[in-house]
Amino acid sequence: MNINLVADRPTFVTHLECSMTGEHYPADQVHGLSRVGRPLLVRYDLPAVARAISRDRLAERPMGLWKYRELLPVRNTADIISLGEGETPLIPLDAIGRSAGARAPIVKDEGRLPTGSFKARGLVMALSMAKALGLRVIAMPTNGNAGAAAAAYAARAGIEAVIFCPADTPEVNVREIAAQGARVWRVDGLIDDCGKIVGEGARHRGWFDLSTLKEPYRIEGKKTMGLELAEQLGWRLPDAIFYPTGGGTGLIGMWKAFAELEAIGLIGAERPRMIAVQAEGCAPIVRAFERGERHAERWQDAHTYAAGIRVPAAVGDFLILDAVRDSGGYAVAVSDAEIERAVTDAARGDGLLLCPEGGATLAAWRRALADGHVRPDEQVVLFNCASGLKYPLPDRSGSLKREGPIDWDAL
């Protein structure tokens, strides 16, 4: 039995805070967005956390996101739901690095988590808190993997789930969601069109809206990527992080994690440059970054085969842009052709099957090397957000007749 899941540990949540105005909201109550329609952030008594944990104490615990419970919002051990969330590995792309004449980029492979994607981090926290707060029905829009994670953890928690996805969502995701007991509906639109239906349903049917950043706790789950990465690298952060950015919860969460780690004395003031990676067919954050704007206009006619980053508008746009700018990073869009080439090269050269969104980070790193945004000697982490096995792959096989002559030279 994983001690992180069964041991009672002190909790340090003090309140929730509007990310735009700083207004405080009471903890341990059901909340969506703040009064001004912006995400709420969970705040902790960080001096008390610093007295409760240390590098040595953390090192004694089994790996997995629940080892960081003092920096997580679930107060009662009985409310934790889990499907075995473990540490995700750091895998250097040695062949890719050699071919580029650079230090091998490191992939944090989030595809090893339950349901095959990093969405498990956010949704296990959101559904654990939904259980703690007594919610019975949740609804959300998804491009695929978030819905699959929500369905799995909702089933685990005994909570009903209603999921809406664009009609061209990968078939494996749609069937995975349904297999885990959620009611899933295909919508002839994009993810924000699905989100509008969720919002209307919340008003008409009383569903709790679990959309990205419209509740406070997915950020807390996603921030464990930053907590875990810091510990894996010996409490020294990399020079740069390339992150596939749709709704941006993970980028926002990691930036929050680094601030909390510094406040409790586990790291110093150094920060990685945060690079938000989008696709050329859907790049609202990139456009806003290049224009010097704090908010991103909705992207019209969004299209890319990297479905996870096909998000035309993000409610946390200003938080993404703040983190990127405060870190000295930037936002970049890559083409679908570059993404496909990166996925192929990583698989054939290093044996790691990236998802398209993960391929986007590799494509962005290659461009950063060429543009001088990253030096060849810098330590860079790329986030692969899901298993490449969840996406359609091209058929490059040949065929043979078992009883016919075989052209051995052709083989």
Tens-place pLDDT, residues 206-257: 999 999 999 999 999 999 999 999 999 999 999 999 999 999 999 999 999 9
- pTM for the model stands at 0.95
In the prediction, which pLDDT does 404 show? 84
Cβ-proximal residues to 131 (8 Å cutoff; 6+ apart), any chain = 79, 81, 157, 158, 159
> What integer pLDDT is reported at residue 170 of this predicted model?
87
Return the closest-CA partner of residue 256 out of 17, 1, 51, 2.
Answer: 17
pLDDT of residue 190: 92
H/E element holding 323? helix 317-326
pLDDT value of residue 208:
96
Cα distances (angstroms) measured from residue 88 to each of 118, 283, 345: 9, 28, 22
Average pLDDT, the chain: 96
Q: What span, in angstroms and rounded, lies between the C-alpha atoms of 334 and 358?
A: 12
Low-confidence ranges of the chain (pLDDT < 50): none
What per-residue confidence (pLDDT) applies to 261? 98
The CATH code of the domain at 90-115+217-389 is 3.40.50.1100
Per-residue model confidence (pLDDT) at position 401:
87
pLDDT digits (tens, 9 = 90+) for 31-64: 999 999 999 999 999 999 999 999 999 999 999 9
Q: Which residues contact 342 (CB under 8 A, 6 or more apart)?
A: 354, 359, 360, 362, 363, 366
- Topology given in CATH for the domain delimited by 119-209: Rossmann fold (3.40.50)
Closest CA to 349 of 107, 12, 80: 107
For position 135, what pLDDT does the model report? Answer: 97
Backbone angles phi, psi at 218, to 5 degrees: -65, -35
In which residue ranges of the chain is CATH 3.40.50.1100 found? 90-115+217-389, 119-209
Packing angle, helices 224-232 and 249-263, rounded to 10? 60
Residue type, 315: V
